[in-house]
Structure 1
Amino acid sequence: MYKVYGGIASRAFRVLWLLEELGQTYELIPSKPHDSAVIALNPSGKIPVLQDGTAALTDSTAILTYLADKHGGFTYSAGTIERARQDSLTHAVLDELDAVLWTAARHSFVLPEERRVPDVKDSLKWEFARNLDRLADRIEGPFLMGETMTIADIIATHCVNWAIGAKFPVENAAISDYAATMRDRPAFKRVREFQAA
């Protein structure tokens, strides 16, 4: 059985969502960054960490890629044009959405207070909105790549939800509709139930 170290309000949500979609059994070990159990598996102290037997895997995107490849779902086969397009979308979401949100988080509460530049957030909100519009143009529907849901959809939806929680405006109607459809998936709802518990 897989063990996932992290919390629902972190990128661990992505890993749990994919495990639910894949129908895999797992144990969630609620952990915060730099908890001793996390540092024992990941010296950087970052979450999530996926434990598969004696192996500890880090970075949510690497974990998603591993699980999707291992279980043959939510990904295209390596070496195909479709996989290259999927990877392109994944990296675009990481570069243009996730990185912007993470920069905002660092300047809100992660960095030492004397290193924060709160005024940068207005610029980041503008950049995020522009990048959402670009992503909306790439949606083939109902998923980013048409009829096949991939790990890029999990990361993109997580970023949209993160943005809403961080009070970043999500005004693009196509993105709002897309994210609402994704949040309606049973696997997504099962992970959200951890928050209510």
Structure 2
Amino acid sequence: MYRVIGTVKSRAFRVMWMLEELGVPYNVMPAAPRSEEARKYNPLGKIPALVDGDDVLTDSVAIMTYLADKHSAVTAPAGTPARARQDAMTLWLIDELDAALWVNAKHTFVLPEKLRVSGLTPTLHKEFSRNIETFAGMLEAAGGDFIMGDQISLPDILAVHCFGWAFGAQFPAIPEAVKAYTKRLRARPQFRAAQDH
């Protein structure tokens, strides 16, 4: 059985949601970032980690990709143009949305005060807003319930997690179409099951 190291209120939630979508059993070992428990699985103390037998994997997107490929679900098949488009979307979400949220977190509460750079938040909000408008256009072009086509895939999990994080961090409001998309995906029983950990 898979073991997820982390907490629901972290990027570990992405992994839990992916596992719920795959319908495979797992358990959660709660561990805060930089905690002694987290460092047992990642010397940097970052979460999440995934334990699969003797293997320990780190980085939420790498773990989700591994799981989707291993179970041949919630992803386009490797080596196909559809997968290349999916990977491009995943990397864009990491570069343009997740990165802004993480930089904001580091400079508002993660880093020691003496290392924080004040005044970054307005720029990060502006960049995030511009990119979320771009995402809204991509969603409209996709023409369905999901960003990559007619079924949920890894980028949907990543995007919805980022939008929830943005809401909690009081980033600017998101477009109505993106709100409806987020609400629809958060209503999935798999999302709700992941929240129960």
TM-score, with structure 1 as normaliser: 0.96
Deviations 1:104-161 (A, max 9, x none): 0000111110121231101111110100001111111210012021101000000000
After superposition, where does 1:103-118 map in structure 2 within 5 Å? Answer: 103-118=103-118
**Structure 1 CA distance, aligned partners of 2:127 and 2:135?**
12
After superposition, where does 1:170-181 map in structure 2 within 5 Å? Answer: 170-181=173-184
**Structure 1 CA distance, aligned partners of 2:174 and 2:86?**
25
Report the counterpart of residue 34 of structure 2 in structure 1.
Answer: 34
Residue segments in structure 2 that go unaligned for 5+ positions in a row: none
Report the counterpart of residue 45 of structure 1 in structure 2.
Answer: 45
Secondary structure, counterpart of 2:40 in structure 1:
helix
Task: Tell me, yes or no, if structure 1 residue 69 matches structure 2 residue 72.
Answer: no
**Structure 2 CA distance, aligned partners of 1:36 and 1:107?**
23
1:50–1:58 CA contact under 8 A, matched in 2: yes
Q: CA deviation at 1:42?
A: 0.9
Q: CA deviation at 1:169?
A: 1.7
Deviations 1:139-186 (A, max 9, x none): 112100120211010000000000000001233111111101110110
Q: How many residues align?
A: 194
Q: CA deviation at 1:25?
A: 0.7
Secondary structure, counterpart of 2:148 in structure 1:
coil
Report the counterpart of residue 7 of structure 1 in structure 2.
Answer: 7
Secondary structure, counterpart of 1:159 in structure 2:
helix
Report the counterpart of residue 160 of structure 1 in structure 2.
Answer: 163
Match of 1:189 among 171, 187, 192: 192
TM-score, with structure 2 as normaliser: 0.96
Report the counterpart of residue 137 of structure 2 in structure 1.
Answer: 137
Residue segments in structure 1 that go unaligned for 5+ positions in a row: none
Report the counterpart of residue 100 of structure 1 in structure 2.
Answer: 100
Sequence identity of aligned pairs in percent?
48
Q: CA deviation at 1:5?
A: 0.4
Instruction: Write the letter of the residue equivalent to 2:149.
Output: G
Q: CA deviation at 1:60?
A: 0.2
1:74–1:150 CA contact under 8 A, matched in 2: yes
- Deviation >4 Å, runs of 4+: none
**Structure 2 CA distance, aligned partners of 1:164 and 1:126?**
15
1:17–1:191 CA contact under 8 A, matched in 2: yes
Superposed CA RMSD:
0.9
Deviations 1:21-75 (A, max 9, x none): 1111111001011222221221111000000001000000000000000001000
